Each structure stands twice: as C-alpha cells, then as structure tokens.
C-alpha cells in the first residue's frame, strides 16, 4: 500500500492554518455568555467594559475599538478584548456605581439592534449593581443620560432588538427641550419585524421637563415605522416615569391587523406629564395599563389621562388617577375600542375595571371619568356579544363646579356598566352620574349594581334613545335634586320607583333598582 504522506501533511497544514485564521478573525467568536461588568472606574478587560457603548458594540459587531454600523453611541470605545458578536448564553452586565457609593453617570446614548443568538433563554440584561432589593429608588445610583437635542436625541433606542432588559438604572433625558427617553421602533430598512420581549424594570425614566405636546418628547416612544414591523411583548414594570409630553406614546402604522401588540405598563408611578400621560392616537392590540399610580397629571386643561384610539381588547385595570394639575377632558377616553373586527383579538373586548379616579375642582372645563365612544364603527352588527366592553368596579369621584359626568357612553355597543361607585361633590346641576347616547336601532347596553350618588342636584342617569338599553337592574341611586333620570324621548322621571319604570316606557331595566329612602329626593 502506498501512503501519500506529503498530501496528508499538506492537508493538515491547511487545516491548522484555517483554524488559526478563524481564531484570529475579528468576527469569529462563540459570543458572550455569563456575567460582565460596566465600570468606568476600572480598566478595560475581557470581563469589564468602561461604558455602555463598548459593551453594545461588542454584542453587535464583535469590536471594542470602532463603533461600526448598528451601534451609534455618544461615548468612545474602550479598546478592550472583544467577546462578540452575539451571545451563546444568558448575559448580564452589572453596571457599577462609583467607588464611594455615590451615583455614577454614564453620559452616552445607546442604540441596540438585533443581537445574534438572543432568545427567551439567551437574554441580555443591563442591571445596576450593588443595589439593595428591588425598590425603584435604588436605580438612582447608576445614571445613563443624553443631552443631545438634535439628531439621536433619545437615550436608549431599541431597533429590532429582542430579549433585552434594563433594570435598576436611571435613564434620563438631560436636555430641557430634547427628545424621548426610550424609543422602541423596528425601523431598519432590511428588517421585517419589530422588537419583541424587551423589559424595563425598576428603572427611573426621566423625560424633559419642558411644556410641550410633541410626541417625540415623550418618555416612552413606540412607533411602528412600517407594515409588519410590529413591536410585541414590551413591558415597563415598577418604574418611576416622570415628565415628558407623555409617559407613553404608541403609534401603529395603518390598521389593527398591523399594530403594536401586547405593550404593558404595570405598577409604575407616572407623574408630572405635560400632555396626555397615555397617548395612543392610532391603533394598538391588547394594550395593558395596570396598577399604575398617576400623580400631577396634565399641566394644561382639556387633556386626557388616557387617550386610546382604535385599540383592540385594551385592558385598563387597577390604576389610580387622583392628582391632576388641572381638570382633564377625561380620565380615560376610548374611541372605537372593542374586541371584534380585530384579527389578533380572540378572547375579550375592552376592559376598564378597578380604577380609582378623582376629577378635581374645575370651573370652566367639563370632565368625564370614563368615555367610551364607538360612534358608527361599521354599525352595531360588527360587534360580537361574546366580546363585550366591560366597565366595572371603578370608583369615580367628581369635584369642582363645571358640568361633569361619571361615565359617558356614546353609541357604544354590547357594553356592560356594572358595580361602579360614582359620587359627586361638585355644584353643577348639569352633572350626571351616567350619560348614555345609545344606538337607536338597538345594541344591548346593560347596567347592574352601580352605586351612584349625585349631590350636585343633577340626574343620576341621562339617556338618549333608550331603545338600545337592554337591562338596568339592582342599582342604588341617589340625588339631591328633584329628578333621578332624563330621557330625551320621554322626558324627566321624578323620584320614586314607579316613575322610573314609566320613564323606560315598559322595559325591565329599572324594575329591581333600590327604592324607598334611597330614591327619595333630598
């Protein structure tokens, strides 16, 4: 047998040479995995980055010497040993404060695009280090800030980035008239999807404090820049969200079938916003606003606490909205929000439940606790009785002297208003507990177990076109005026159960409401 040793040696040499080339090639790496630090006070190494910019450049490009395309930042590279690009396991960056235990500021803006290898298992977390517990105040020890007031005016920009978390960090817009704090937007020309499964937890998100209604000066700015570039499962939880034109501005491209989906704001403290704290001017699917505390809301009269336009299955539950700088137009305003005619909605209609709302003193501004407006949206038959809008277990208190409504329902369909507590301490006799303008050809509206006390002297219940009301039972109603209810078709109903039954022209809706003392005018 003849052995070609020269050939074997040549092949072996080629393999060794190829391996050497691969190992020295700047783009070749197994990716980051494990725990690293970001510490401006320590030397750059394979495990320590001196700034966010170097860490993100390594994740995206496998470089710590040049910020290449996809990582445009405001700080220089630290020149340390590269570990990227991409990740091969879960990654945590512990961001250090100063050696004296005081806050350390990282003056840079960061842009994160798609990270190779990121997944539900291989997550990427930027976390303030050396903090006690999970209180939002801990985040003040690490500050990421940007004062650029022109291009790249955001502080954190997620562009087609997924499975990224910021935790226990202050992210602050340093300029007084600069841009947003956090921008989430799948805008890359080569991408067909948006951001998914990103989180901001126990952070302080501080916007510019200027008086402006400009959307790009919101604290959180989510914008679907094109069809199919949908951002999904983005969570903001246990944060302090302060200043800015809005706490959240969310805009989808063209339709409910191509809209931002499952965006969640949960258990945040939201304060000092100038314009609408929650502003959704164009489509959202399964938006969840839960357990937030809103304080010092709306610095200018006539604004809305939450403005939701064309939202499918919004879930607005457990929020407290009691501290207003001026009287709002409405605490919660839903326009064409339902649970049908929406491809991504299969389980529920709109939900507004367990919210605590106080409408403050106002003399010239009419305020409403909750507005649901579905005027002429494809007609009543487009709504599914199995996906009704439910407004329940809300506590609404009304002050001031202007005409004010607790709940205002305008041409709504398949809506249940039940178990709400509405009380008036204001002085306008034109204030109503529930004002309803129903669709004249009949789309069921039902009212159960509501407790309404109108000490302003106005009617408890005011309606147009009562033919759209299916049932109104088991409610406790009280007014300091002479009339309990008004219907534009049938006139005023005076105090007493019998007159209320006549007011409905034979319908059952008031047959079981409390009578006796509770229905006697004071």
Q: Is 341's pLDDT higher than 50?
A: no
Q: Is 73's pLDDT higher than 60?
A: no
Cα separation, 69 vs 162, whole angstroms: 18
| Tens of pLDDT, residues 366-392 | 678 888 876 434 333 345 566 778 899
Mean pLDDT of all residues belonging to the chain: 76
3 state DSSP class of 517: helix
| Tens of pLDDT, residues 395-431 | 998 877 778 889 988 877 778 889 999 998 888 888 8
User: Cβ contacts of residue 183 below 8 Å, gap of 6+?
Assistant: 154, 156, 157, 158, 221, 222, 223
Q: What is the mean pLDDT of residues 469-484?
A: 76
Residue 454: which pLDDT band, with cuts at 50, 70 and 90? Answer: confident
Cα separation, 463 vs 470, whole angstroms: 13
**Residue in 164, 143, 154, 158 with CA at minimum distance from that of residue 188:** 158
Task: Specify if 288 maps to a domain.
Answer: no
Q: Is 487's pLDDT higher than 80?
A: no
Whether the upstream peptide bond of residue 85 has omega within 30° of 0, thus cis, is: yes
Least confident of 157-166, 187-196, 364-373: 187-196
Q: Is 5's pLDDT higher than 80?
A: no
Task: Specify if 79 maps to a domain.
Answer: no
Task: Specify if 267 maps to a domain.
Answer: no
3 state DSSP class of 464: strand
Q: What is the mean pLDDT of residues 73-99?
A: 86
Cα separation, 83 vs 26, whole angstroms: 10
Q: What is the mean pLDDT of residues 298-325?
A: 82
* Domains: count for the chain: 1
pLDDT confidence of residue 265: 97
Task: Specify if 119 maps to a domain.
Answer: no
| Tens of pLDDT, residues 10-29 | 433 444 344 344 444 444 56
| Tens of pLDDT, residues 498-520 | 344 434 433 333 445 554 333 33
Residue 301: which pLDDT band, with cuts at 50, 70 and 90? Answer: low
pLDDT confidence of residue 377: 42
The answer to whether 294 touches 264, Cβ cutoff 8 Å, is: no
**Residue in 7, 18, 112, 117 with CA at minimum distance from that of residue 70:** 112
Is the model more confident about 397 or about 466? 397
For 516, phi then psi, to 5°, come to 75, -135
CB atoms within 10 A of CB 35: 14
pLDDT confidence of residue 437: 78
What is the residue-wise DSSP string for 299-343?
Answer: SSTT-EEEEEESEES-EEES-EE--BSS--SEEEEEES-BSSS-T
Residue 243: which pLDDT band, with cuts at 50, 70 and 90? Answer: very high
Task: Specify if 13 maps to a domain.
Answer: no
| Tens of pLDDT, residues 205-228 | 999 887 788 888 899 998 876 556
Pairing mode of beta strands 204-206, 432-437: unpaired
pLDDT confidence of residue 152: 67
Task: Specify if 401 maps to a domain.
Answer: yes
What range defines the domain where residue 459 resides?
297-522
Cα separation, 105 vs 97, whole angstroms: 8
Q: In Å, how far are 142, 198, 277 from 131, measured between CA atoms?
A: 10, 22, 29
Task: Specify if 32 maps to a domain.
Answer: no
Q: Where are the alpha helices (DSSP H) in 36-100?
A: 52-61
**Residue in 428, 425, 430, 435 with CA at minimum distance from that of residue 370:** 435
Q: What is the mean pLDDT of residues 86-107?
A: 87
Q: Is 158's pLDDT higher than 60?
A: yes
pLDDT confidence of residue 33: 97
Q: What is the pTM of this model?
A: 0.85
Q: Is 329's pLDDT higher than 70?
A: yes
Task: Specify if 148 maps to a domain.
Answer: no
pLDDT confidence of residue 134: 41
Q: Is 343's pLDDT higher than 70?
A: no
pLDDT confidence of residue 364: 52
Percent of the chain predicted with pLDDT > 90: 32
* Cα 260 from chain centre: 11
Pairing mode of beta strands 483-487, 491-494: antiparallel
First to last CA, the chain: 117
pLDDT confidence of residue 313: 84
Cα separation, 453 vs 397, whole angstroms: 10
Q: What is the mean pLDDT of residues 256-270?
A: 85
For 383, phi then psi, to 5°, come to -105, 140
Residue 291: which pLDDT band, with cuts at 50, 70 and 90? Answer: very high
């Amino acid at each position: 047998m003849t052995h070609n040793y020269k050939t074997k040696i040549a092949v072996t040499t080629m393999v060794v040479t190829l391996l050497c080339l691969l190992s020295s090639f700047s783009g070749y790496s197994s990716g980051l995995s494990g725990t690293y630090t970001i510490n401006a006070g320590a030397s750059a190494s394979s495990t320590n980055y001196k700034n966010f910019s170097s860490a993100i450049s390594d994740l995206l490009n496998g470089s710590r010497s040049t910020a290449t395309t996809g990582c445009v930042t405001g700080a220089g590279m630290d020149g340390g040993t590269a570990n990227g690009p991409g990740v091969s396991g879960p990654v945590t960056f512990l961001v250090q404060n100063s050696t004296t235990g005081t806050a350390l500021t990282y003056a840079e803006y960061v842009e994160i695009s798609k990270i190779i290898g990121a997944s539900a298992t291989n997550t990427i977390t930027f976390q303030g280090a050396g903090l006690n517990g999970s209180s939002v105040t801990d985040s003040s020890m690490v500050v990421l800030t940007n004062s650029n007031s022109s291009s790249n005016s955001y502080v954190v920009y997620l562009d087609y980035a997924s499975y990224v978390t910021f935790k226990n960090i202050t992210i602050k817009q340093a300029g007084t008239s600069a841009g947003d704090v956090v921008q989430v937007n799948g805008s890359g020309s080569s991408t067909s999807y948006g951001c998914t499964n990103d989180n901001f937890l126990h952070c302080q998100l501080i916007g510019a404090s200027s008086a402006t209604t400009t959307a790009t000066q919101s604290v959180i700015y989510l914008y679907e820049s094109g069809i199919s570039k949908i951002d999904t499962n983005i969570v903001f939880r246990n944060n302090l969200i302060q200043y800015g034109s809005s706490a959240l501005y969310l805009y989808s491209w063209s339709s409910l079938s191509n809209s931002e989906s499952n965006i969640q704001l949960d258990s945040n403290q939201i304060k000092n916003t100038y314009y609408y704290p929650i502003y959704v001017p164009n489509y959202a699917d399964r938006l969840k606003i839960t357990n937030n505390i809103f304080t010092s809301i709306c610095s200018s009269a006539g604004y809305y606490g939450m403005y939701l336009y064309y939202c499918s299955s919004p879930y607005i539950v457990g929020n407290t909205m009691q501290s207003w700088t001026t009287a709002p137009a409405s605490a919660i305003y839903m326009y064409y929000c339902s649970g049908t005619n929406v491809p991504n909605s299969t389980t529920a209609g709109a939900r507004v439940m367990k919210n605590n709302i106080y409408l403050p003193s106002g003399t010239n501004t009419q305020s409403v606790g909750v507005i649901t407006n579905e005027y002429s949206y494809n007609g009543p038959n487009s709504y599914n009785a199995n996906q009704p809008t439910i407004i329940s277990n809300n506590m609404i208190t009304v002050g001031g002297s202007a005409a004010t409504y607790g709940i205002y329902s305008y041409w709504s369909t398949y809506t249940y208003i039940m178990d709400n507590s509405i009380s008036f301490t204001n002085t306008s006799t034109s204030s109503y507990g529930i004002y309803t303008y129903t669709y004249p050809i009949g789309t069921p509206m039902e009212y159960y177990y509501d407790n309404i006390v109108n000490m302003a002297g106005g009617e408890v219940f005011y309606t147009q076109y009562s033919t759209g009301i299916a049932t109104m039972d088991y409610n406790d109603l009280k007014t300091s005026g002479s009339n309990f209810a008004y219907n534009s078709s049938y006139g005023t109903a005076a105090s007493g159960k019998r007159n209320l039954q006549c007011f409905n022209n034979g319908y059952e809706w008031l047959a079981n409401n409390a009578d006796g003392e509770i229905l006697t005018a004071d």
